[in-house]
Amino acid sequence: MRTTDESPDRGTDDGPTSLQSFAVLLRRMNGEFNRIAHDFAHAQGLHPTDMQALVAILDADRGEDGRAMTPGRLREQLDLTSGAVTACLDRLERAGHIRRVRDSGDRRVVHLHYAAAAKHVARDFFKPLAAGTEAARRQFADDELRVVIRFLQAMNEELAQLRRADPGA
């Protein structure tokens, strides 16, 4: 298995594994995800920032990094002012998408959770996307999917490093 710059078309501008090909495919996928998220936001009367907040809260609820989402973490993650985060959370709470829960050990700390009823609404809306994702996954063997996962993890880490290196970007 090749894992370095051994691929004969990596240096070309138009090969199937070229940087250009990856950039085009990633932009297309990102555009489609954004369109679907925008449709959900519109159907729910939410702002695009609200959708970003919901995804961040959902991912934190799933325990991927072991830390509960707080308004402060959300502010940092979305690069918003405290006032903008408060307005966003107020909208999401009024719409029934999130719950704010005070920490039992330190009442000053507020944890943000995706509301169970809202998860069902989102699950129903995104069911076709889940089915499409599963259909695409079924086209690949497990060892191929592990490579895809490694790529996506590496890509996410690179993007996170860019954000940390230039917080104004």
3-state helix, strand, coil split of the chain in percent (to 5) is 65, 5, 30
Residue with tokens 């691929």: 7
Q: Cβ contacts of residue 76 below 8 Å, gap of 6+? A: none
Q: Amino acid letter at 119?
A: K
**Helix/strand/coil (H/E/C) assignment for every residue in 84-117:** HHHHHHHHHHHCCCEEEEECCCCCCCEEEEECHH
| d(C-alpha 158, C-alpha 67), whole Å | 21
What b/e readout covers 95-104, taking b as 16+ CB neighbours within 10 angstroms? Answer: bebbeeeeee
67-114 residue pLDDT tens = 789 999 999 989 999 999 999 999 999 999 999 999 888 888 999 999
Quote the pTM value. Answer: 0.77
146-169 residue pLDDT tens = 999 999 999 999 988 987 887 565
